[in-house]
Structure 1
């Protein structure tokens, strides 16, 4: 084993630790309100190590979003492959998981797109591009689930799957913001009723 191979796991661990710590802290406080020193102190990583992996705070933010969406989309793929369930049941599970992760109290970094979306879209073109790519992946998977649900007979809806998927994502994104404003789950309850009215899931 050469030295490069031997050091690879540690290298990956340090980078992952910085990203996980940043996701948790910035998911709670926002991007601009958090300095690198706070992230690195919490992660137990020296500042020099940070610049070994990320050229700037903006580059870190871009990597943070890419890492977040990679894990999020992988979770969606696993959920929509659950055996023995209709697509209607899988979509209900997805939106149920959405409610649990987008808490108005402490989302522990699981609501990163909601927390940072409006803020960083105006700060950084590269971070906005990461948001655009990640949210497009979410909408694509919802659209595919809608098409599969129409095929298996568990869903019935008007119009095309892609524009409906986009509308559903925007509905739930808006509900996530409202939940943080009103500090209760009522916006999610409304979003779920609207979703069922649009999709007519079979029981």
Structure 2
């Protein structure tokens, strides 16, 4: 990897960390540059504006979690619904390990950039849609298996799962307590999908 790519990646990595912790309005370019030791001129070599930078961070965040989804959603050792449970279990374990720089970047930015940046909000909306599409694929596979009712509205079910997850994260961060996340998985997600089996909290 060349030095330019390394500098850009460092900026994005620090930007992701800061955005998760402070939101769109709470993040300034200056502190990010200082944290990674990059001059202001270098920032504008890579990014035209703060919004351009935030969109790049969103894209990097999406790529990271797309890999995680692929890991779980293509695991043929598990039934489709159990893949979904294992995936959200992994997200909870990550939340526990990375607090306070934990949470969902989409939700954080959607709240903090509302009414301020149409470009950023559009990027978040598209990322949400692709995330939901990937979950829909798992639920459709479960439906074909007979694990979900034939008349189940997969699109609305997926939206309910994502919205429940986002709400749980807000509550967990507000109270600095993961019990909201655990309730989402145990009393929300499991009941929504009526999974036939439970998945252990640890996944290889």
- Given the two structures, how large is their TM-score scaled by the length of structure 2? 0.87
Map 1:1-203 to 2 at 5 A: 9-103=2-96, 106-108=99-101, 111-153=104-146, 155-157=147-149, 159-192=152-185, 193-203=187-197
Q: Deviations over 1:135-176 (max 9, x none)?
A: 1011111111011122234x3245221111011101111111
Q: Deviations over 1:114-146 (max 9, x none)?
A: 322211132100100110011101111111101
- Given the two structures, how large is their TM-score scaled by the length of structure 1? 0.87
Q: Deviations over 1:34-89 (max 9, x none)?
A: 22111011112111110001111111111111221122123212221123111122
Secondary structure of the residue that 2:2 maps to in structure 1?
helix
Distance 1:105 1:76, change over 3 A: closer
**Unaligned 5+ residue runs, structure 2?**
198-204
Secondary structure of the residue that 1:121 maps to in structure 2?
coil
Q: Give the root-mean-square deviation of aligned CA atoms.
A: 2.0
Is 2:14–2:32's contact at 8 Å kept on the other side of the alignment? yes
After TM superposition, give the deviation of residue 190 of structure 1 in Å: 2.4
Distance 1:91 1:28, change over 3 A: same
Moved over 4 A (4+): none
**Unaligned 5+ residue runs, structure 1?**
1-7
Task: Report the number of matched residues.
Answer: 195
After TM superposition, give the deviation of residue 30 of structure 1 in Å: 1.9
Equivalent position of 2:201 in the other structure:
none
